[in-house]
Amino acid sequence: MTSDSDISRTDTSTNQHDLRRRTLLWGICAVTFIVYLDTSIAPVAIPTIADSLGGGDTAAQWMLDAYTLAFACLLLSGGLLGDRFGTRRMLLGGTGAFGLASIVCALAPTMNVLITGRALQGVCAAVIVPLSVAALTTHFPDPMARAKAIGLWGGTAGVALALGPLVGGVLVSSAGWQSLFWINIPIAVFALAALRISLHHKASSRSGGIDVVGQALFVAAGVGATLALVEGPHRGWAHPFVLVTFAVAALSVVLFVVWERHAERPMLPPGLLRIPEVFAACAVNFLGLFGLYGVLFILTLYLQGERGLSPIATGLEFLPLFGAMGAGSLTASYIVRRLGTRPTMLLGLGSICVGMLGLMSIPAGAPFAVYGVALTLLGIGIPLSGGVVAIAAMMNAVPAESVGAASGAMNTFRQFGAVFGVAAAAIASPRVGSEVTSMSTTFMIGAGGALAGAILTAVVLRPSGPRR
């Protein structure tokens, strides 16, 4: 017979487990918030930082690309570090290091130091993001509770992206550009404390290994291609430095493919991208972020350069874009359950395409009400075509042992889309003095990318009905 004291102890233990899981969830959401906030908070401060530290448009591009490039290049290996050294140790270390890197950015006396700090932030983000999902999966064994936790994690990332430009504008206008990075510190301290309390101690699996050669080749390919694209317009496409970096990137890609086919523990399993659903998800995420970050970069230069808007006014101009992204992120799971993955992705890509074409009205002097609608359509389309929707599209086609690798590959393509989007926008719409030329070219490229993604989705993905 069960005594009252046994029941009381059971209830107390259950309450403690629930409190520990809630603490873990809040800690993970906090660090996820600053990781994704830093992807969208910086663009509105580009002119202010360039005026303060110098370096021109090239340095401004690297201030954005250093973060996303490091994030993209190391994301595939980030989760493996948790397997080798322990999720708790690496997630706590990544969170603490992200805070320290933010201090480096805030105290940066030169643009080179700021770019270095941003790259360090990206390295930490590449560890934090995959291990955050791994920690939620481990600590929430109940499928329903796990789905809710991961849904809140994804919603937090979407809200952080949405708030970035507005928060960035307010901070730059009221407290200087350094405040963009100081704001990370109290949030990182809270996250570190919450994770330290709630994360289980778990023995690491040291039998696993990291594909060091593959990782080095992947970094060489990403950095080489980015260097060539950023420096080409300024040094000239025939400049020896540009030609060498292009050659390094191309050779690294070839060597990476050859190596991964024979590596004992490849960072990207051979044949993964030959699965149609995985290829489509990766391509759509690349194209979506490619267009989004091209728009962010060019519109920031236009609004603050040609129109003379303050950072906070620029943030308000972006509010329809990121407000729609936040709403779309929070409702994407519901929409895909109602419509199915293929129709939802096509709806999102169509919205991006129409939004990009609508932005072509800006150089003609259209009022905010016109291009505000276009920004809203773009913001709605990003989460409906990528993110959790793209993951849902490929999960049923991926073997269970490759689910993590497929998700990592998709997020890697997503980050590279942001890197190359900024570089391509600077090439397609160069700035002459304070004037951004050929803005419509960037928007047309973005619309073409969304259209290509829609055709690919329609051809590759099998039709799927709504799931009740």
Among 94, 48, 70, which Cα is nearest to 313's?
48
- Among the residues of 56-183, which ranges form H helices? 56-85, 87-106, 111-139, 143-175, 179-182
Q: Using CA atoms, how far apart are residues 407 and 27, in angstroms rounded to an integer?
A: 22
Looking up tokens 């929070």, which residue turns up?
A: 330
Q: Using CA atoms, how far apart are residues 385 and 464, in angstroms rounded to an integer?
A: 15
pLDDT tens-place string over residues 195-231: 988 887 654 544 456 778 888 898 899 889 988 888 8
434 or 314, greater pLDDT: 314
* pLDDT tier for residue 48 given thresholds of 50, 70 and 90: confident
Looking up tokens 């992807």, which residue turns up?
A: 39
User: Going by C-beta distance under 8 Å and a sequence separation of 6 or more, which residues neighbour residue 203?
Assistant: 86
Mean pLDDT calculated for residue range 375-382? 91
Mean pLDDT calculated for residue range 269-281? 83
Element (H or E) spanning 432, and its range? strand 431-432
Q: Using CA atoms, how far apart are residues 10 and 291, in angstroms rounded to an integer?
A: 53
Looking up tokens 């290996």, which residue turns up?
A: 77
Name the pTM for this structure. Answer: 0.79
- pLDDT greater than 80 at residue 239: yes
Among 405, 404, 414, which Cα is nearest to 138's?
404
Q: Using CA atoms, how far apart are residues 97 and 120, in angstroms rounded to an integer?
A: 8
pLDDT tens-place string over residues 335-364: 888 888 889 999 999 999 999 999 988 877
- Determine what percent of the chain is predicted with pLDDT higher than 90: 24
DSSP state of 268: S
Mean pLDDT calculated for residue range 17-27? 84
* Residue 447: predicted pLDDT: 93
* Residue 141: predicted pLDDT: 76
* pLDDT tier for residue 374 given thresholds of 50, 70 and 90: very high
Q: Using CA atoms, how far apart are residues 136 and 146, in angstroms rounded to an integer?
A: 7
Mean pLDDT calculated for residue range 390-409? 71
Candidate ranges 2-11, 240-249, 267-276, 410-419; pick with highest mean pLDDT? 240-249
pLDDT tens-place string over residues 163-187: 888 888 889 888 889 999 999 999 9
Looking up tokens 């600053």, which residue turns up?
A: 34
CA angle 238/241/242 to nearest 5° reads 50
- pLDDT greater than 70 at residue 91: yes
pLDDT tens-place string over residues 104-157: 999 999 999 999 999 999 999 988 888 887 788 777 777 777 777 877 887 788
